[in-house]
Amino acid sequence: MKKTVMLILIGNRKEAPVNVQKVLTGWSSIIKTRLDIHDAPLENCSDNGLLILELVGDPEKHDELMRKISLIQGVNAKVMNLSLQDEEI
């Protein structure tokens, strides 16, 4: 089993997510699963956020999506390929 995930760290959660969402909408065909995480205590919501995406399809498209997301100010993205030890990546 092989999985490809992208981690996206958003530093300015009040402004950057609009641009991130625009990019993700255009690439929705390669996004299988999406998880949004941020610290949200009632009185003091964090300005940082983390997105975890499970990606499918062409690895070149994964790299292109990462490049486009990383161009947004205050956002950093990384793609990781994971597999079990007894399987090849």
Question: Could you read off the pLDDT of 25-43 as tens digits, one per residue?
Answer: 999 999 999 999 877 666 6
User: What is the spatial distance between Cα 23 and Cα 27, in angstroms, rounded to a whole number?
Assistant: 7
Residue 89 lies in a domain: no
Q: ∠ CA(43), CA(47), CA(50), 5° rounding?
A: 115
pLDDT value at 85 more than 70: yes
pLDDT band at 89 (very low <50, low <70, confident <90, very high): low
Alpha helices in 1-89 (DSSP H): 16-26, 59-70
Total domains, the chain: 1
Classify residue 72 as exposed, middle or buried by CB count within 10 Å of its CB (0-12, 13-18, 19+): buried
Residue 49 lies in a domain: yes
Give me the residue label for tokens 């997510």.
17
Residue 25 lies in a domain: yes
Residue 88 lies in a domain: no
In which domain, by residue range, is 56 found? 2-83
Contact status, residue 66 vs residue 4, Cβ threshold 8 Å: no
Residue 68 corresponds to which tokens in the numbers above?
A: 């486009």
Q: Can you give the CATH number for the domain in which 37 is found? A: 3.30.70.1150
pLDDT tens by residue, 50-74 = 999 999 999 999 999 999 999 999 9
